[in-house]
Amino acid sequence: MPGDGIGPEVTACAHRVLKEIAARYGHKFFFSVQLIGGSAIDETGNPLPDATIASCEQCDAVLLGAVGGPKWSDPNAAVRPEQGLLGLRSRLEVFANLRPVKVMDALIGTSPLKGEITQGVDLVVVRELTGGIYFGEKTRDESSASDLCTYTAAEIERIVRVAARLAASRRGKLCSIDKANVLETSRLWRDVTNRLMRDEFPEIELETLLVDAAAMHLLSRPRDFDVIVTENMFGDILTDEASMLVGSLGMLPSASIGESALGIYEPIHGSAPDIAGKGLANPCGALGSVAMLLRHSLKLDAEASAVEAAIGAAIAAGARTADIACDDDAVLSTTDMTDRIISELD
């Protein structure tokens, strides 16, 4: 689903890389291109058409570009692009959003933070994706508005299990982020997390932070984090903050997964309408999402590692798009950057 803004540009690059992987490893991938977001509103009046839902439910994985833009940004509009994305997550029951943040040595200079802070950062944020304030009951009249934040113990348990299992496969550290000093949903989150970790994952080192403190520590001591688990809105905000550790939103991939193998894979950068159509978009987030798609939905770990290694090798060799370039770096277009990464697959 190319979506809006720079979405069609980066998904075209991702499509190329998937075809290259198929050719090199002897696979056959079959693709269906569908509408979502603003482009779907323009075409059908619906940000998530029935044809898109039907196609997704028949697929092994969903690759998404981005949704939204100024054309559809009126907050009073009855139909908005983001409704398509939220609806898709709910329909496919993908409740866990995995967002890895790993700082490459070659890109330390692109972060606004000092190199001694960002060097060696390797963490994953696990964001709960289908509950909380984004999905709660909403009301509004001329003088007031409300957004209901609701979580159940079962919703908290399933996302914490995903995060704990991930931590067990990494460095064995889990940080749970909440706002338990103010919010009842966070108090439930903390109680459920503490109980589940004690009963099911006693070997995992658990740290608990309030979200405001976590926002500070994420920039002051990011190397201390291994896996972070948090609710929907906090995760949305903190992962954008974490992108500054690597220097650009354009570098970060994501995977939205549930109980089945079907997942949604997308870069976290959004539609970036100001650079759409100019060949300036960084394809690395989309290509990293391809690697996550190969690993999590298609169970092709070697192929996933090959894509990740190719991205790293291209950047180590000096390949740069505008968002990660320093003063003296040659700047590549979206397609040229993809060419360089594909060449590293060899």
Contact between 315 and 342 under an 8 Å Cβ cutoff? The reply is: no
Calpha distance 259→96 (Å, rounded):
9
Catalytic residue among 60, 122, 147, 240: 240
Catalytic residue among 178, 179, 265, 323: 179
CA 150 remoteness from chain centre: 22
User: How many beta carbons lie within 10 A of that of residue 198, not counting itself?
Assistant: 10
| Angle formed by the axes of helices 184-200 and 153-168, nearest 10° | 50
- Cα 123 to Cα 96, 171, 202, 314: the distances in Å are 16, 10, 21, 22
Strand partners, 177: 209, 230
Calpha distance 302→250 (Å, rounded):
24
Residue 51: closest CA among 32, 38, 69? 32
122 is catalytic: no
328 is catalytic: no
Could you give the 3-state DSSP secondary structure of residue 66? strand
Residue 97: closest CA among 119, 137, 64? 64
Contact between 336 and 318 under an 8 Å Cβ cutoff? The reply is: no
Buried b (16+ CB within 10 A) or exposed e, 152-178: eeebbebbbbbbbebbeeeeebbbbbb
Calpha distance 299→296 (Å, rounded):
6
Catalytic residue among 4, 178, 226, 236: 236
CB-count burial class (<10 Å; 0-12, 13-18, 19+) for 133: middle
Catalytic residue among 74, 105, 191, 212: 212
Catalytic residue among 134, 178, 265, 323: 134
329 is catalytic: no
Could you give the 3-state DSSP secondary structure of residue 145? strand
74 is catalytic: no
301 is catalytic: no
In single-letter form, the type of residue at position 84 comes to G
Catalytic positions, written as ranges:
134, 179, 212, 236, 240
